[in-house]
């Protein structure tokens, strides 16, 4: 039980530290719109799955969003060594976590479910 609390604490600290690193330490223009939405750490503190999202940008369509996502992942991969070192130092870990970045689709799915529920409610009223 204490182990799950520890991993939850590490995951939250990791999320906050990655947000700070993206904001203050990296100057890659591909990462300007990237923010960290979630972080999950394995119980052995060896691997972290990190969910990222892009800040909305007016005028960016689905195709532009796909290109921005690809560029963001390339930018994160390019900075991986530096990010891992900074995270390990900030969290005081003996070994640097292996970081796996992916886009967090959860909020998109939640928004779609809410849209469908609103449509159902409108249909019932008519």
Q: Return d(Cα 63, Cα 71) in angstroms, integer.
A: 12
Q: What are the boundaries of each domain within the chain?
A: 2-125
Is the separation of the CB atoms in 100 and 35 below 8 Å?
A: no
- The helix (run of H) or strand (run of E) holding residue 112 is helix 106-125
pTM for this structure?
A: 0.78
Residue 8: what pLDDT? 92
Ranges of the chain with pLDDT below 70: 1-2, 106-114, 116
Q: Return d(Cα 15, Cα 50) in angstroms, integer.
A: 8
Is the separation of the CB atoms in 53 and 37 below 8 Å?
A: yes
Of the candidates 83, 103, 121, 124, the residue with the CA atom closest to the CA atom of residue 36: 103
Pick one of 3.30.300.20, 3.90.950.20, 3.30.360.10, 3.40.50.920 as the CATH number of 2-125. 3.30.300.20
Residue 10: what pLDDT? 93
């Amino acid at each position: 039980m204490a182990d799950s609390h520890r991993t939850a604490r590490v995951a939250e600290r990791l999320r906050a530290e990655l947000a700070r690193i993206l904001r203050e330490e990296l100057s890659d223009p591909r990462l300007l719109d990237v923010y960290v939405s979630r972080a999950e750490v394995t119980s052995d503190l060896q691997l972290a799955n990190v969910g990222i999202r892009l800040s909305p940008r007016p005028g960016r369509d689905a195709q532009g969003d796909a290109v921005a996502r690809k560029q963001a992942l390339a930018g994160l991969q390019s900075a991986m060594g530096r990010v891992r070192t900074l995270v390990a130092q900030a969290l005081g870990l003996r070994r640097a976590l292996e970081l796996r970045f992916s886009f967090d689709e959860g909020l998109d799915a939640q928004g779609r479910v809410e849209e469908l529920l609103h449509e159902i409610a409108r249909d019932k009223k008519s």
